[in-house]
């Protein structure tokens, strides 16, 4: 299995410094002359997975490998670590800690190669703060994939504050994958109820805010459904006091719709441009009255992927995830894609 753009011992060169000039992720020393195949791999934008050796990060690596295969792009495994006088493993020497860090990557590499021998693979070992390393990696990615334990927190460097910080600040989509997520879980059950990879994919679910429909979020969901040949379920929850801004083009409402039928018509109009762009995607729309977070959690049951949006607008208290995305990443069991938008 070819590995792309690797440095000594199969490791990449490392990540660039952060935009503010501080070197949040130090480069590994050493270079390697690349053959033409590796140069082609290096030109493609990869799917990136953050690795820390935990069960959830290994599940994230395998999910990211499947997504890389679907998108026909490389996979980049990134592991960040900070040297400390005494690590959790008891290693006090910097070189020993580096060796232990390498083992984390090699374990993930073995899992990925065993399940997906054809995927093109990078490895990236980064010394520095995890949040900065992951945000830098996301800048150069189709999407970033992280392991998640939901409300119980994240182990290793993917502690709750780090994962939430990455989701809140990333400029590229971030997908959170639960420990125990297997390839079969993305597919519909067989006729006898057993898991199978021979059946079609489960639905992709998109939670949409008709008060502010966003192109990036909708496009991501349609593309995810197209890649999987899966049905796309688009849901919107409304409340009588929900404000509505003007929609795309000449679509606009002067008052919030107070009846479910009006919301359904508005949703159909908003989605029409993407239906035309992706005629092969089977789209099912659902509108209900109530809290958006509750509707999203309910709709995601049995889905292969949930897609929600997150505003990138800076607030006085800093960037935040938003109540719907926050509820989804803590309470939904399937992988959750959080897509940033203006």
Considering the chain, tell me which residue range(s) the CATH 3.40.50.620 domain(s) occupy: 8-181
Considering the chain, tell me which residue range(s) the CATH 3.40.50.12370 domain(s) occupy: 187-341
3-state secondary structure the chain: CCECCCCHHHCCCCCCCCCCCCCCCECCCCCCCCCHHHHHHHHCCCEEEECCCCHHHHHHHHHHHHHHHHHCCCEEEEEEECCCCCCCCCCCCHHHHHHHHHHHHHHHHHHHHHHCCCCCEEEEEEECCHHHHHHHHHHCCCEEEEEECHHHCCCCCCCHHHHHHHHHHCCCCEEEEECCCCHHHHECCCCCCCCCCCCCECCEEEECCCCCCCHHHHHHHHHHHHHHCCCEEEEEEECCCCCCCCCCCCCCCCCCCCCHHHHHHHHHHHHHHHHHHCCCCCEEEEEEECCHHHHHHHHCCCCCEEEEEEECCCCCCCCCCCHHHHHHHHHCCCCEEEEEEC
Comparing C-alpha atoms, which of 339, 37, 81 is closest to residue 209?
339
Other CB atoms within 10 Å distance of the CB of residue 36: 7
Do residues 28 and 11 make contact, with C-beta atoms less than 8 angstroms apart? yes
Structure tokens at 35: 């053959």
186-197: average pLDDT: 88
Cα separation of 223 and 278, whole Å?
A: 8
pTM of the model: 0.80
Q: Which pLDDT band, with edges at 50, 70 and 90, does 300 fall under?
A: very high
Q: Which tens digit of pLDDT belongs to each residue from 77-132?
A: 999 887 665 555 555 567 777 788 889 999 999 999 999 998 999 898 888 888 89
What pLDDT does residue 93 have? 67
Half-sphere exposure of 281 (CA within 13 A, CB side): 28
Other CB atoms within 10 Å distance of the CB of residue 163: 25
What pLDDT does residue 316 have? 54
Q: Which CATH class is domain 8-181?
A: alpha beta
What pLDDT does residue 191 have? 87
Most confidently modeled range among 41-50, 118-127, 223-232: 223-232
Do residues 325 and 309 make contact, with C-beta atoms less than 8 angstroms apart? yes
Topology of 187-341 in CATH? Answer: Rossmann fold (3.40.50)
Q: Which pLDDT band, with edges at 50, 70 and 90, does 2 fall under?
A: very low
Cα separation of 75 and 272, whole Å?
A: 33
Beta bridge partners of 309: 339
Residue reference for tokens 């002067």: 254
What pLDDT does residue 250 have? 46
Cα separation of 123 and 108, whole Å?
A: 10
Comparing C-alpha atoms, which of 61, 266, 275, 279 is closest to residue 175?
61
Cα separation of 60 and 324, whole Å?
A: 22
What pLDDT does residue 95 have? 78
Paired sense of beta strands 47-50 and 336-341, if any: unpaired
Q: Which tens digit of pLDDT belongs to each residue from 259-298?
A: 778 889 999 999 999 999 999 999 999 999 999 999 999 9
What pLDDT does residue 330 have? 86
The region of weakest confidence among 179-193, 245-259, 317-331 is 245-259
More confident residue, 290 or 255: 290
Please determine, for residue 332, whether its predicted confidence score (pLDDT) is greater than 60: yes
Please determine, for residue 307, whether its predicted confidence score (pLDDT) is greater than 70: yes
What pLDDT does residue 294 have? 95
More confident residue, 14 or 85: 85
């Amino acid at each position: 299995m070819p590995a792309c753009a690797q440095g000594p011992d199969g490791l990449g060169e490392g990540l660039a410094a952060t935009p503010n000039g501080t070197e949040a992720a130090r480069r590994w020393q050493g270079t390697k002359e690349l053959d033409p195949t590796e140069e082609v791999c290096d030109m493609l934008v990869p799917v990136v997975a953050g690795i820390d050796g935990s069960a959830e990060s290994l599940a994230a690596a395998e999910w990211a490998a499947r997504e890389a295969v679907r998108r026909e792009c490389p996979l980049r495994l990134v592991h960040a670590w900070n040297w400390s006088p005494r690590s959790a493993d008891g290693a006090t020497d910097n070189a020993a800690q580096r060796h232990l860090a390498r083992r984390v990557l090699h374990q993930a590499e073995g899992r990925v190669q065993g399940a997906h021998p054809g995927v093109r693979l990078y490895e990236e070992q980064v010394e520095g703060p995890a949040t900065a390393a992951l945000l830098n990696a996301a800048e150069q990615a189709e999407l970033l994939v992280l392991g998640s334990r939901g409300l119980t927190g994240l182990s290793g460097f993917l502690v709750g504050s780090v994962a939430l910080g990455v989701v809140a600040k990333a400029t590229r989509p971030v997908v959170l994958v639960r420990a125990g997520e297997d390839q079969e879980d993305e597919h519909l059950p067989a006729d006898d109820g057993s898991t199978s990879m021979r059946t079609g994919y489960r639905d992709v679910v998109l939670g949409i805010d008709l008060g502010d429909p966003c192109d990036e979020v909708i496009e991501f969901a349609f593309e995810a459904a197209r890649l999987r040949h899966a049905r796309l379920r688009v849901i919107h929850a409304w409340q009588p006091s929900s404000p509505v801004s003007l929609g795309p083009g000449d679509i606009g409402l002067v008052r919030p719709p107070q009846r479910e039928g009006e919301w359904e018509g508005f949703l159909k109009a908003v989605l029409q441009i993407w239906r035309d762009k992706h005629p092969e995607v089977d789209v099912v729309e659902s509108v209900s009255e109530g809290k958006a977070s509750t509707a999203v959690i309910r709709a995601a049951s049995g889905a292969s992927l949930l897609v929600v949006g997150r505003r990138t607008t800076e607030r006085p208290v800093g960037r935040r995830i938003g109540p719907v995305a926050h509820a989804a990443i803590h309470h939904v069991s399937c992988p959750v894609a959080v897509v940033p938008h203006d």
